[in-house]
Structure 1
Amino acid sequence: MTSTAPAGPTPQRRTPLDAVHDALGATMTDFAGWRMPLRYGSESAEHRAVREAAGLFDLTHMGEIAVRGPEAARALDHALVGFVSKIGVGRARYTMICDDNGGILDDLIVYRLAEDDFLVVANASNAAVVAAELLDRAGDFDAEVTDLSEAYALLAVQGPRAVEILAPLTGLDLDAVKYYAADRATVAGVDVLLARTGYTGEDGFELFCAPGDAERLWNALTEAGAGHGLVPAGLSCRDTLRLEAGMPLYGHELTTEVTPYEANLGRVVRLDKPEDFVGRDALAAREKEGPRATLVGLRSPGRRVPRAGYAVLDPASGDTIGTITSGAPSPTLGAPIAMAYVPSGSAAPGTRLAVDIRGSAEPVDVVELPFYRRA
């Protein structure tokens, strides 16, 4: 008979920039098993820098899965809700992977790098689940699924001055790179996949590179951005930026309990594609019946902040009609904002609702999403 010591806690994964964040005095936090920078100083200052100039993010915690082979496009058409085979080479598309009931397993960006070569980028908390699901769903196709998350570091430069900062570091014509497009490039002598994508509501670029090149690239971007207002930015401001931009966060706005239709993202579901796909019947039924609830934006006329998990109330009856999914003070708008699922009959902009904030019914108004849209 043998015995083994009980397993200890799983150690936090660290990005190649972990020492850089410590040197910058970042407040670190655990996020999906990763040790990540929450903020470097003032999160509101970092937020405003991204809106007005630029922020530099370490996003290495995201997952990257390659799908390659003669039937890679068909495999992804089957696995995901989008019409992946319609993506042009060098372009990207926002899509989702759903379960048989139409519930959202994750939201994704798919890059088509070549005719038979796709890169699927998943959220950190779901990367392993997405990789396993893609492997299973591609089983009947001539396609190979490989989890390449360990092979990539991911940096992002986000903000209106992103082009000015990156341009001197690369021979690529950045003005010719369209939104949701990607190209192989050399930046500061580092080979990268450069994509004009982001999660802040601003213009910007995401740069996929080898982990061993991450610190060199970070330092070059920092130096190039010194005269343009670039600051290192953490997860905290990334959350308020995406909230202002009305972008959903998995585990908050997106879960297996909702379909893309409840999340106002029915546009990503392509029921018209010839390839059958997982969740199709359930999603077709949901489209026909209409969503069970609707994701809305809420803005408070007061100063108290609706936070995730707080109950949304009918102000006349006091009955709970929904739940806040995300909420924070908006540095850009100067008011508390939130997103919540409410009945469709209460979802029209201008509707006055209430939120239970520690026992007090505080008024909020339904507003159109996004809260913020760049010029």
Structure 2
Amino acid sequence: MSEIQSVEDAIQAAGGPVAALRREPAPQMTFLPWEFSSWHHEVRLWRETAAFLDQSHHMVNLIVRGPDAIRLFSELGVNDLSTLAPGSAKQYVVVAPDGHLIADGILFHLEPGVLSFVGLPTAAKWVEFHILGGGYDVEHLWDDNSWLRQGPPQYFRYEVQGPAALEIVERVLDGPLPQTRFFGMARATISGRPVWLLRHGMAGQAGFEIFGAWADGEAVRDEIFRVGTPLGLDRVGYRAYITNTLETAWISLPVPAIYDSAETRAYRQWLPAGHLGSLAGSFARPDIRDYYVTPYDIGYGKLVSFDHEFVGRDALRELSERPAKRKVTLHWNGNDVADVYRAQFVADEQLPPRLVDVPKSRGARFHYDAVLASGRPIGFSVDTGFIEPDRAVLSLAMIDAEFAEPGTEVTVRWGEPEGSTRPQMPPHSQVDLRATVLPAPYNSVARTSYRSG
């Protein structure tokens, strides 16, 4: 076959999407130091004092300008954007023509006719494809992540999270703190530099996202630390940062519904092969559609509005009438996890189980492990890690509703299936580990409090 240039080329060369994803190595992109102090210390910051998270580098930013900017996003997303006024933001969700989820991100309406869509590239690429297809009076700028971009990003983007976050932000601003609701935005200045504030809670505690022109980022950061260090503010490195999704129950990387249908073939032919993704875990099905989820499965049903036309609307309406899976947190049995570790140090002829790495254990961009009840498959676990302050191994899962009641006992099948083609994965045995269903979000502040602030 000719050189592989697109996602569609990669799928055809492998003989299908599951085979293509299974043989792709996990991405090796890191945008922050592994640790600034130690991840054990850093994961406690957003609970005990305040965490500083630099988000300037790992996300993409699709900036869209023009009279059709709102219409573009309205026709591609499930959200009602009629109330997305300048100076506001929404969690924005896109689905495929068949109604299954592609991805989500944060959509900012910065000023009239100027929108900024920030997140992982999965959803943003879908929007860019439709911009380039024509029919919209807009201009756009693709501001890639720092692994791929030449030069600095357009914006710095910082998170200040934790019990001391409010006091730090109040003190660091040149004027009084504007009153904002959860996910509300406001303009302000720090050391004379203009910034946007987004009331946010990404790390499971009330806090703020602060962003502005890249040239002002160093001065803003220095002032935040001058004010915040006496109040316990400290930096969070990559190892600690990636655990916060377990506490807030944001599933960042479900398999997007782009890999098989005729309706998305043109998109796959356009999408560069580097955006293929990779797949690991014990949930092993030959049909890629078994990995797709709906907005309802992942907990985004409240964001869906059928009061406007959008890609996938009719198909999603049909899916909304079917039973959905429920997003839950699974608390893995500590003794079973300890047995996995114990087996690593026993010199015998038995293959040890795959190590449950800490603080995060992920084998590919998309990691799906089978969840069972009494030996019967009931869904999949998609994100696993260790919450050090609670001494708990947790995962986020989507399972059949009848098993989603907190306290229900289930089993997670851990390890690659026999004959796995995963590259860079050492040989290991597959084991079943007990787990208990908990709410999602697991973090009680994220679940009950900070959204009302």
- Between the aligned partners of 1:152 and 1:131, the Cα distance in structure 2 is 20
Query: Corresponding residue for 1:24?
Result: none
- Between the aligned partners of 1:226 and 1:175, the Cα distance in structure 2 is 23
Three-state SS of the structure 1 residue aligned to 2:250 is coil
Does 2:81 match 1:46?
Answer: no
Moved more, 105-114 or 340-349: 340-349
Q: Aligned runs of 1:91-106 on 2, under 5 Å?
A: 91-106=88-103
- Between the aligned partners of 1:92 and 1:154, the Cα distance in structure 2 is 15
Three-state SS of the structure 1 residue aligned to 2:444 is coil
Query: Corresponding residue for 2:115?
Result: 118
- Between the aligned partners of 1:84 and 1:296, the Cα distance in structure 2 is 28
Query: Corresponding residue for 1:12?
Result: none
Query: Corresponding residue for 2:160?
Result: 157
Query: Corresponding residue for 1:372?
Result: 443
For residue 331 of structure 2, the aligned residue among 296, 299, 305 is 299
- Between the aligned partners of 1:235 and 1:228, the Cα distance in structure 2 is 22
TM-score (norm 1): 0.81
In the TM superposition, what is the alpha-carbon distance from 1:176 to its structure 2 partner?
1.0
- Between the aligned partners of 1:80 and 1:197, the Cα distance in structure 2 is 22
Kindly provide the CA deviation profile for residues 140-197 of structure 1, in whole angstroms up to 9, marking residues without a partner as x.
Answer: 2333333345311212111121122122221343251322112222112322222112
Does 2:207 match 1:204?
Answer: yes
Q: Aligned letter for 1:213? A: D
Q: 1:215 to 1:126 in 2, by over 3 A?
A: farther
Q: Aligned letter for 2:326? A: T
Does 2:323 match 1:290?
Answer: yes
Aligned 8 A contact 1:194 1:207 in 2: yes
Does 2:258 match 1:258?
Answer: no
Q: Aligned runs of 1:1-375 on 2, under 5 Å?
A: 33=29, 35-60=31-56, 61-123=58-120, 125-126=121-122, 129-130=125-126, 132-133=128-129, 135-136=131-132, 139-148=134-143, 150-174=153-177, 176-249=179-252, 251=253, 253=254, 255-256=256-257, 257-273=292-308, 276-291=309-324, 293-305=325-337, 308-314=367-373, 316=374, 318-357=375-414, 359-374=430-445, 375=449
Q: Aligned letter for 1:266? A: G
Q: Aligned letter for 1:221? A: I
Kindly provide the CA deviation profile for residues 104-162 of structure 1, in whole angstroms up to 9, marking residues without a partner as x.
Answer: 33211112223433222122x4376145235247x323333333453112121111211
* Alignment coverage as a number of residue pairs: 337
- Between the aligned partners of 1:297 and 1:73, the Cα distance in structure 2 is 35
Q: Aligned letter for 2:302? A: R
Q: 1:91 to 1:323 in 2, by over 3 A?
A: same
Q: 1:51 to 1:134 in 2, by over 3 A?
A: farther
Q: Which runs of 5+ in 1 are unaligned?
A: 1-29
Q: 1:148 to 1:327 in 2, by over 3 A?
A: closer
Q: CA RMSD in A?
A: 2.5
Q: 1:361 to 1:34 in 2, by over 3 A?
A: closer
- Between the aligned partners of 1:203 and 1:53, the Cα distance in structure 2 is 12
Query: Corresponding residue for 1:27?
Result: none
Q: Which runs of 5+ in 2 are unaligned?
A: 1-25, 145-152, 258-291, 338-355, 362-366, 415-428
Q: Aligned letter for 1:132? A: E
Greater relative contact order (Cα < 8 A, sep 6+): 2
Identity of aligned residues (%): 28
Q: Aligned letter for 1:269? A: V
TM-score (norm 2): 0.68
